Homo-oligomer: A and B are copies of this chain.
């Protein structure tokens, strides 16, 4: 059966001041009326029911996630005692789910990406699930790049290896981490590079086997949890084990080393919504390129202004006069005004606030 593993452990400091420690990006309604994680689950629903939907998160996020996702039972939460990157996260989910359904195929995806239309995404997951039934196969999704982005990892596709549900799959030639700008331009020109969407489909047992091959430390750790899964003291066991695990991404720790990794080209629109700027990119804009992400009753009033993202968590007015390419974010205790092309540095601003003892603004 196809299960979903939604990775929801992120803290999302790049959406400060709206995202906070207790209210990370996946709990914000950045792309619609609902928190992003609820949009993510809605998008999965026609394909994967709640009882096969699993959410991996930290203890701090559990309550907010259950509140945001009313159809999610608490038993579907896999709570990490601390963050240990995606290899541990995916391995833990595979262990837990394989215990219930050894044949499980897992669609592993972040809780906070913007993806549309849902139907195309569902078709793509279904096709990928077919591909993932080939022996020892790990499936990734590649997004055809539209610009020389430096904020994404890239996947170079190699030989074609079949068609699944009408979607073509290629053997992965290689993974590249976030490139510098000249390299990104080369990738775009070369034509066979795709953005790594961070969305994966694989058999639970296949992943555990690959972990055994390439991350023996993690494999041993996961193996040690098995008795506690049966006994019911899983929570205590994981609390002891988890801090000792290596922090490594599934891309770097497994995908770059595994033999049978395929990439399927996405037929859906995708953004990782990595910053306020990418929210502007993804939002509907008026004729002057201003985007308003405001609750009902909120308004933007713009005079001679363009390229602005206006965001407020409450139904207020954002008025602009003669300004360009800004991000204006209002929350109950902060107004942020930033140059849009420096949105990535919001993270650095948050780090500075922390260093300056303004932790009150981050909670």
Contacts and interface: CB of A to CB of B under 8 A. Distances in A.
Nearest to A356: B301
A19 interface: no
A326 B323 CA distance: 8
Interface in A333-359: 333-339, 341-342, 345-346, 348-349, 352-353, 358
Nearest to A343: B321
Given A301-B358, A338-B320, A330 B330 contact: yes
A317 interface: yes
A318 interface: yes
A17 interface: yes
Nearest to A318: B335
Nearest to A350: B319
A321 B323 CA distance: 14
A303 interface: yes
A326 to B, nearest CB: 7
Given A303-B345, A349-B303, A352-B303, A338 B318 contact: no
A345 B322 contact: yes
A312 interface: yes
Given A301-B358, A352-B303, A345 B333 contact: no
Given A346-B321, A353-B301, A337 B333 contact: no
B316 A337 contact: no
B345 A335 contact: no
A312 B335 contact: yes
Contacts of A291: none
Nearest to A308: B337
A338 B358 CA distance: 27
Nearest to A333: B316
A321 B349 contact: yes
A56 interface: no
A89 interface: no
Given A330-B330, A358-B301, A336 B321 contact: yes
12 contacts: A301-B358, A303-B348, A303-B349, A317-B333, A319-B334, A319-B336, A319-B349, A321-B342, A322-B339, A322-B342, A323-B326, A323-B337
| Interchain residue pairs A-B with the least CB separation, the first 8 | A321-B338, A322-B339, A322-B342, A319-B336, A317-B334, A318-B335, A330-B335, A316-B333
